[in-house]
Amino acid sequence: MKILVIEDNEQNMYLIRFLLESNGFTAIEALNGQDGIRLAHEMKPDIILLDIQLPGMDGYEIAGVIRSSPEIQTIPIIAVTSYAMSGDRERILAAGATDYIEKPINPETFIDQIRVHFPQRRADNESINC
Ligand code: MN
């Protein structure tokens, strides 16, 4: 499972990479939106973790570009942001994010919050509902 992390804060990137790799996932790192979009095309990650406040393009703009790029538009995007107000949450979901995780990251729940969006897990949930 490959996870693209678009995050400009070194400490957050370090923590996210540590959590992903210690759970057996491959972390692909991008420090800005331009690199993130390029790596999404090149690496076809299973999930994209997206910071909102970034140099250059912000997370809203990046989510919009990914959702309008046919080759990568179906990849789940999970916004990871310190914005806590509900209006910001609505705004990033409207921009194309699939879900939203609030900073500070909680190492106890972070992986579970991502796992919900794995294709297989989603199928399991559907069968439980039947
Ligand atoms: Mn940031």
Q: What is the pLDDT of residues 51-80, one digit of tens each?
A: 999 999 999 999 999 999 999 999 999 999
Q: Compute the distance from residue 45 Cα to the ligand 1 centre, in Å.
A: 20
Which CATH number do you get for residue 51?
Answer: 3.40.50.2300
Q: Using alpha carbons, list the distances in angstroms from residue 47 to 4, 54, 104, 128, 130.
A: 6, 19, 20, 23, 26
Domain that holds residue 121: 2-128
Determine the Cα–Cα distance for residues 45 and 39; give it in Å rounded to an integer. Answer: 8
The radius of gyration computed from the CA coordinates of the chain, to the nearest angstrom, equals 14
Q: Compute the distance from residue 40 Cα to the ligand 1 centre, in Å.
A: 18
Q: Compute the distance from residue 66 Cα to the ligand 1 centre, in Å.
A: 18
Helix pair angle (59-67, 86-94), 10° resolution: 30
Q: Is the pLDDT of residue 126 over 80?
A: no
What pLDDT shows up at residue 84? 61
Q: Compute the distance from residue 31 Cα to the ligand 1 centre, in Å.
A: 9
Q: Compute the distance from residue 125 Cα to the ligand 1 centre, in Å.
A: 32
How many structural domains are present in the chain?
1
Q: Is the pLDDT of residue 48 over 80?
A: yes
